[in-house]
Amino acid sequence: MSQLGSRIGVQIYLVIFFAYLLGPLVIMSVTAFNSSSFPSAMPWECLTFDWFRSLLQDSRIMNGIRNSILIGAGTVVLSVLMGLSGALVLMRIWPRLRATYYTIVIAPILIPGVVLGISTLVFWDRINRLLGLGPGSVLSNGLFLTILGQSTFIASYCMLVMVARLQRYDETLSEAALDLGATPAQVFRKILLPFMRPAIVTAAVLAFLASFENYNTTTFIFGEYPTLTIELSQKVRYGVTPAVSALAFIIVALTIFIALANEAIRRRRELVAAVRSGASVTVAAGGRVTLPRIFSGNISAVLVVAMAMGTIVMIGTASVYRPDQCIADLRQEKQLAAQKRAEELRRQRDAKTGGTGENVGIDPVTSPAAPPRSQGGGFETVFDPGVLQELGN
Amino acid sequence: MNAWVGVELENLSIRFGDFVAVRDANVNIRGGDFFSFLGPSGCGKTTILRAVSGFLAPSSGNILIGGKNMKGVGPNKRPTALIFQNLALFPLMKVWENITFSMEIRGARAAERRKRADELLEMVALTGQGDKLPAELSGGQKQRVAIARALCAEPHVLLLDEPLSALDLKLRQHMRTELREIQKQVGITFIYITHDQGEALTMSDSIAVMRAGVIDQIGNGRAIYNDPATPFAASFVGENNVFRGKVVQIIGHEALIRTNRSGEIRARISTANLGKLQQGDSAMVFIRPEALDMAGADLEGDHYVSARVTNEEFEGDVFNIFMEGDGGKEIKVSLPNRGQSFESHKGRTVTLRYDVKNAVAMPAGILATE
């Protein structure tokens, strides 16, 4: 009895736990498809894909994504290089210096990103002045500064990944290669680098993600290259639109898809290895379900396919489905409601004063849920509920 | 195949800080020989091998390969190939890529490499295994791949660092003969490191016995086994019974020694120690278990030993009899099993007989187990 109770308890806990983890993502994803101009899942108004369109037409967001990818790529290259060399030094350094060296290269992870941002800005500004270069020089370029500033701490993450792999490296492999006539450069290229490849890939992905989501360091040094996080934060300062939800949905979907695809590839490779070494497929797969061979015991592969199909269905629906009618109906409904309310108000007032307040009332177009109009330059159209209609046409 | 290239160590010393790993080693290894360094772990034999292959610089002294001084020559420029204790096969490369790594370094074409790999695989009896990864091979197969990889580099000297130690007994014995055959086939100098005296004795043309960085004795297997130069060599190579005592009399190449517990023993002075024993010196006499035989009771004389039997065991090919010996050590006697009836002697005192030429006397010194 108590066993059953504890099992139910665990299940309830799991439900709460996953709701806590995934709930916000699910609700946010839903808001991306609701025509309500403020991101909300309830009340459901109309199914729409227009937020994705307005996202694609937002030149600042698009520019931010481009900058983020550019800076991410630069940071990946720089951080992986620094991380790899840092890890190599750590493994070869004089043992008594090792602890000190480790502390120094790990420190950037512990330093607040804000401090890193400011110090990057100040430091390169000083260098810039020292060299007598103008404000237009490379050293004060936002792209350059952001890549450098982010790499200061992302390289440390990369180094940790590399060290973990390097610790399993058998130094006699290098010696064996040397002994067979390889030069140290050939040993590095033909033996060590192939061994480090998985760690390099992991570090690169990690570096890109860390760069892409970084805000607090970047905010001081982005210059003329605002990244996506910077643009988003500037945008939400004036209120959020479901276009941001749409962007978030794309990012979440991409992340899950890549993670699942990666897992599926890994499983498949393991399966192949197991088959090569002679184990029977059924043992390696461990599944009782008779799916096509690649799917047996491979949930992620199934999920990948499901997600891919879901995407196709969604895009298909989006290209055929026109929410105009629904939105028009809704507008009319709202208009009617507003008119009714205005009339009611008028009647109340009439009853009170006996006068005729023709010109008093609420603008019938403005929905009561709409946020106040912003003063920001290019932003106001986003918050204009009319934008949906315009986009729909 | 190659002109035979020998290796010479001249006053070679290697120090790590205060620790002397190798002290003043002088060895002349003839080209084409199978030469073994035999010693317990930590005696400096691997250090010598690493110095010969170029991973360690000697603190003093010289290493000459084929008469050329190797000072300042890196491991990738020496005509040596090393087979590591853990084999160090490249885990991400297929077997054939492993074997022909030295050719890849020199920029050989893939087809050429593949051809050479197949030849070498045939030689080490691994035909058709070229496309596997090292992890997919058994221990003995990996061993052979390592040998093929080293031979592919066409070294003048092949260095082997206890390559058989990870294998089980049966495979080890099989690989011994195989290694010896490969050595005869390719005709290059093999330098072999081992702590297993059986390996050293069966395979080597010549053996150097090492203890704590010092080479105690160099000679062929028979000389080392039958005519040890030091108490360490006598007790490390094979089993030996030791009798301690004082020299009573020197008679030509023989000595009469009064032992602490087993009476007076007559023994041959080992070749390396001729002239080094004086009357009154402390000495040790070594008699192999198989050189002792049961004698009739109550015989006395200088080639008899009496002792009380404490234990007996049957090993299949031999009966082992253990007796109270000198300084807490047992005397072991091995009697060959020729199907004779075997009566127990447990608790009784028996007399053992030996040939004086099989008892070796030398100045007292450090034993292997001490």
Full DSSP string of B339-362: S------TTSEEEEE--GGGEEEE
From A185, which residue of chain B is nearest by alpha-carbon distance? B105
* Interatomic CA distance for residues B297 and A48, integer angstroms: 113
Query: B84 contacts in A (CB within 8 Å)?
Result: 172, 175-176
- Domain for residue B297, yes or no? yes
Would you state the pLDDT for residue B37?
A: 92
Judge whether B265 and B255 are in contact, CB under 8 Å.
Answer: no
Chain-chain contact of B76 with A183 (C-beta, under 8 angstroms): yes
How many residues appear in chain A? 393
Q: Could you say which of 1.10.3720.10, 3.40.50.1820, 1.10.10.10, 1.10.540.10 is the CATH number of the domain covering A54-239?
A: 1.10.3720.10
Q: Mean pLDDT per 10-residue run, chain A (393 residues)?
A: 84 93 87 79 76 84 90 95 93 87 90 91 89 79 89 93 92 90 91 93 92 90 87 82 84 86 84 68 46 60 78 74 74 86 88 59 46 42 46 42
pLDDT at residue number A238: 79
* A191: chain B residues, CB-CB within 8 Å: 90
B10 - beta bridge partners?
B62
Per cent of chain B over pLDDT 90 is: 12
DSSP tag of B100 = T
Give mean pLDDT, residues B226-251: 87
Task: Based on the fold, state whether residues B155 and B251 are members of the same structural domain.
Answer: no
The beta-carbon neighbor of A180 closest among B91, B92, B102 is B102
Q: Report pLDDT for A29.
A: 85
My answer on whether B62 and B191 are in the same domain is: yes
Contact B81 A172 (CB under 8 A): no
Contacts of A195 in chain B (CB under 8 A): 91-92
Whether the pLDDT of residue B303 is over 80: the answer is no
Report CB contact under 8 Å: A183, B102: no
Asked if B82 reaches chain A (Cβ–Cβ under 8 Å), the answer is yes
Rounded to a whole number, what is the distance in Å from the CA of B133 to chain A's nearest CA?
A: 10
pLDDT one-digit tens code per residue, B143-169: 889 989 998 988 899 999 888 877 788
Give domain status of residue B35, yes or no: yes
Whether residues B18 and B57 fall in one domain: yes
Whether residues B105 and A186 touch (CB distance < 8 A) is answered with yes
pLDDT at A371: 44
> How confident is the model at residue B164, as a pLDDT?
82
Domain of B246, CATH number, reads 2.40.50.100
Burial class (CB in 10 A: 0-12, 13-18, 19+), A16: exposed
Nearest CA among B188, B93, B8, B158 for reference residue A179: B158
Closest residue of chain B to A189, computed from CA coordinates: B105
Question: Looking at beta carbons, which residues of chain A come within 8 Å of B90?
Answer: 173, 176-177, 191
ipTM entry: 0.79
Whether residues B307 and B201 fall in one domain? no
Nearest CB neighbour to A180, from listed B55, B92, B105 = B105
Label residue B351 by pLDDT band (50, 70, 90): confident
Name the token pair of B135: 């992890």
Question: Could you give the CA distance from residue A289 to residue A299 in angstroms, rounded to a whole number?
Answer: 11
Distance from C-alpha of A30 to C-alpha of A41, rounded to nearest angstrom? 6
* Per-residue model confidence (pLDDT) at position A370: 44
What's residue A287's pLDDT? 45
User: Under 8 Å CB-to-CB from A187, ≥6 apart: which residues?
Assistant: A174, A177, A178
Q: Lowest-confidence range among B94-103, B107-116, B263-272, B325-334?
A: B325-334
Quick one: tokens of A257? 């898809």
Residues of A with CB under 8 A from a CB of B: 170, 172-173, 175-183, 186, 190-191, 194-195, 276-277
Of B80, B84, B149, the CB nearest to A172: B84
Task: Return the pLDDT at A363.
Answer: 47
Cα separation, B370 vs B366, whole angstroms: 7
On the question of pLDDT at B338 being above 90, the answer is: no
Over residues B83-131, the pLDDT tens digits come to 988 889 999 999 999 999 999 988 889 899 999 999 889 888 888 888 8
Residues B271-280, mean pLDDT to the nearest whole number: 83
Which residues of A fall within a CB distance of 8 Å from B136?
276-277
| pLDDT given for residue A86 in this prediction | 92
Domain span at B313? 236-363
> In the structure encoding, which two tokens stand for residue A151, read together?
């790499």
Same domain, B278 and B342: yes
Edge-first strand order for the sheet with B157-161 is B80-83, B157-161, B189-194, B34-38, B206-211, B214-219
Best of B16, B56, B105 to substitute, by most chain A Cβ atoms within 10 angstroms, is B105
Whether residue B159 lies inside any domain: the answer is yes
B84 shares contact with chain A (CB less than 8 Å): yes
Q: State the maximum Cα–Cα separation within chain B, in Å, rounded to a whole number.
A: 79
B17 and A CB contact within 8 Å: no
Q: What is the pLDDT averaged over residues B180-207?
A: 88
pLDDT at B279 over 70: yes
Nearest chain B alpha carbon to A196: B92
CB B76 to CB A178 under 8 A?
yes
Q: Three-state DSSP class for A182?
A: coil
Chain A residues within an 8 Å CB radius of B88: 170, 172-173, 175-176
What does the pLDDT read at residue A349? 87
For chain A, the structural domain boundaries read 2-45, 54-239, 243-322, 323-393
For all residues of chain B together, what is the average pLDDT? 85
DSSP H helices, A180-323, are 184-187, 193-213, 218-221, 228-236, 242-276, 281-285, 299-320
pLDDT value at residue A377: 40
B258 and B304 housed in the same domain: yes
Do B218 and B312 fall within a single domain?
no
Q: Is residue B220 part of a domain?
A: yes
Chain B positions touching A177 (Cβ under 8 A) are 90, 101
Per CB-CB distance under 8 Å, the chain B contacts of A276 are 136
Q: What is the DSSP letter of A378?
A: T
Please, are residues B256 and B264 in contact by the beta-carbon 8 Å criterion?
yes
φ and ψ at B344, to 5 degrees? -75, 140
Token pair 């008093």 is at which residue? A360
Q: Is the peptide bond before A135 cis (omega within 30 degrees of 0)?
A: no
Distance separating alpha carbons of residues A205 and A194, to the nearest angstrom: 17
